[in-house]
Structure 1
Amino acid sequence: MRNLSENICCSSVNVIIGERIEDFLSSIHGKKIAVIYSKNLRLNPKADLVLPVEDGEETKDINNVLVLVKKLFEAGFDRGDYVIAVGGGTVLDMVGFASSIYMRGLNLVNVPTTLLGMVDAGIGGKNGVNFSGIKNVLGTFYQPSTILADLGFLETLPKEEIRKGLAEVIKYGIVLDKELYDYLSIHENEILSKEPVAMEEIIYKSIKDKLTIVKQDERETKGIRIVLNFGHTVGHAIEAGSGFKIPHGHAISVGMVCESKIAEEMGYSEEGVVEDTIWLLQLYGLPLSVDRLGFPVSKEIAISSIQHDKKIRGSKVMMPFPTRIGEWKAVDVPLDTLMGFVSQCL
């Protein structure tokens, strides 16, 4: 078991890697506990309020948030009590949003149940919900008091789901952490076999990398947190172009290949970065091009979606480019230039 903590703005975020959720719940005394979890999980938690919910986009609706707020109020929860979110990204979003607005903030504990959630979605304090059919139009920044990475949830996770989460781990290695990149390079078998020591190591390094960035730029106002979007500008466009049929990890994998090529073409990456990016993604069986994604991608829709990217300022898009493995630079890319490059990638 490993622990780390980080002070982010006005909050202390504690991370526990390797402890079982049952043991964590039993360590809380004298406070009410609500456990909101995905219906897909076989849980029987001991808590004052237990609420299974759907783990899908329909969960992230403001009406579901208000239902949760009402249940917390009826159960007498106050600001010293705990809300535990257990599940995928949509559950963490909905519960995180509710926790941030109920009495101006409860003790939120994120328990992501996938590798992707453990290294990305459960970290950073972003909570977005849908309103009137508009995705993520309502949101808050609210840090969990604890992030619990219970490795037991990974035991039954299919290898393909592990690969999807590894795309985000590889992202950290390419733009932030050469030591992580090197670890991934030589521990492929242990990681894909979900060997606990190897999984604990890559989860620890990924969380530490992300929290270090979030600490410097919690609300994305300084041009630092942008590094976490490496591969995501093109990746999100690919997701949109497929009607969101392509898994996030697969889209981001292709996005990292494309964006590293753009960085090289524009003269920001040293020689070899593209090859190193491709090599590591290929090592873990992740797709490198759109023809390997399994679903058709509309180039028109994908390119059109880039025009609505939230990182656009005027006629430019700020993008994080890898300059060498483990290092990066923020670059304002003209929108027309970007769309031209993306058209070639797709």
Structure 2
Amino acid sequence: MIRFSESITSQQDIDVVVGENALSYLREIQNKKAIFYSSSVNIDFIKPHLEGEYTLVPIKDGEEAKDIQYSLELLKVLFDGGFDRGDYVIAIGGGSVTDTVGFIASTYMRGLNLINVPTTLLGMVDAGIGGKNGVNFGRIKNIIGTFYQPRAIIADLRFLISLPSEEVRKGLAEVIKYGLVLDKELYDFLALNKNSVLSKDPESLEYVVQRSIQDKLSVVKEDERETKGVRIVLNFGHTIGHAIEAGSGFSIPHGYAISVGMVCEAKIAEEMGYSEEGVVEDSVWILSHYNLPISIDELSSKIDLKEALFALSKDKKVRNGVLLMPFPTRIGDWKRVEVPIETLKGFAEQCLK
């Protein structure tokens, strides 16, 4: 088991625990606890690690969990339970759960102690990290939200034992992202340890999850609120990936969409002269190595090009007709580039036909 702390703000450190018995961290909490958990999580797996006074609250998963009205219902649980700012709110589940619970923890009494316990690989390496919490309003995703860092991130690898191999691969797309633009050492590890990673070897998973968390937290520490143009590196593959998702009517899983998105964006970076020779080939190779899609022909749904390009033009990162994008310059390194939206749409059209 690996345990370390990272200081994101001057106010607090984030404890990170990764391993097969990471949930044991919960025994250290003596204050009152509100434990919001996805209905898909086996709570009997968690109960042995709970001590003192706690309230178990099963909650919805997916987009249902992210509706603002549902957040008000969850806030009432804290109010009725007499929770105060010394108490803890614990989110156990996937990205929609950590999003929603992070939001209510940050708003109730202007902030209770939050602990994220992601139960999927995608959650452990991305969704449960970084402090961005958002809920939906008026059919618009994540339009209401906060930046609020958890007190702890607990990545207990036992949650991954029963995870289907396909779900592992979806999460690995985000891991590969870190390798391509931030961490060559992680890229090299993935290149050499495919079988142990895909077979969910505990030692290999521990390294992959720990390294991914450290990579993301290092970026968040430098640009927590996305004001310095540094945090955009975490969007590598996501600009085109989100367009793919929209063009498929959101039937393409996120991990597969950003996998194709990373290939497209690496090609754009090369064509615009920002990438060293071989970056596209290395990106394609590592994604194929893990059986992830590298073109829209490998996706399970057709892409409506018109819808994809429309989504691209409405990207929330567009400013005055220009989009800031992170381009890989070499494996493990990147550069921030201003790309006119019309130029980007031209490249995207080539990639998505």
Deviations 1:114-155 (A, max 9, x none): 000000000000000011222111010000000000000000
Aligned 8 A contact 1:19 1:148 in 2: no
Match of 1:299 in 2: 305
Unaligned runs of 5+ in 1: none
Is 1:149 the counterpart of 2:142 in the alignment?
no
Distance across 2 between alignment mates of 1:258 and 1:328: 15
- The root-mean-square deviation of aligned C-alpha atoms, in Å, is 1.0
- Three-state SS of the structure 2 residue aligned to 1:92 is helix
Deviations 1:20-76 (A, max 9, x none): 3652332222x1011100001111334521111121111101111111111111111
* Match of residue 217, structure 1, among 178, 199, 223: 223
Aligned 8 A contact 2:106 2:146 in 1: yes
Aligned 8 A contact 2:23 2:156 in 1: no
TM-score with structure 1 setting the length = 0.98
Match of 1:138 in 2: 144
Which structure 2 residues correspond to residues 153-302 of structure 1 after superposition, within 5 A?
153-302=159-308
Unaligned runs of 5+ in 2: none
Shift of the alpha carbon at 1:315?
Answer: 1.1
Deviations 1:85-134 (A, max 9, x none): 00000010110000000111111000000000000000000000011222
* Match of residue 132, structure 2, among 126, 132, 149: 126
Match of 1:59 in 2: 65
Distance across 1 between alignment mates of 2:34 and 2:24: 15
Distance across 2 between alignment mates of 1:158 and 1:122: 20
1:289 counterpart letter in structure 2: S
TM-score with structure 2 setting the length = 0.96
Distance across 1 between alignment mates of 2:317 and 2:140: 18
Distance across 2 between alignment mates of 1:80 and 1:21: 23
Match of 2:14 in 1: 13
Match of 1:43 in 2: 43
Change (3 A) 1:209 1:21: closer
Distance across 2 between alignment mates of 1:120 and 1:306: 22
- Three-state SS of the structure 2 residue aligned to 1:238 is helix
Which structure 2 residues correspond to residues 302-313 of structure 1 after superposition, within 5 A?
302-313=308-319
Aligned 8 A contact 1:17 1:204 in 2: yes
Change (3 A) 1:39 1:199: same
1:158 counterpart letter in structure 2: P
Deviations 1:231-262 (A, max 9, x none): 00000000000111100000000000000000
Deviations 1:284-334 (A, max 9, x none): 000011111101110000000011111111011000000000000000001
1:26 counterpart letter in structure 2: R
Q: How many residue pairs were aligned?
A: 345
Higher alpha-carbon deviation: 227-236 or 34-43: 34-43
Match of 1:2 in 2: 2
Match of 1:24 in 2: 25
Distance across 1 between alignment mates of 2:27 and 2:114: 16
Aligned 8 A contact 1:260 1:274 in 2: yes
Distance across 1 between alignment mates of 2:335 and 2:119: 32
Q: Percent of pairs identical after alignment?
A: 62
Shift of the alpha carbon at 1:212?
Answer: 0.3
Distance across 2 between alignment mates of 1:175 and 1:133: 33
Shift of the alpha carbon at 1:3?
Answer: 1.4
Distance across 1 between alignment mates of 2:256 and 2:62: 18
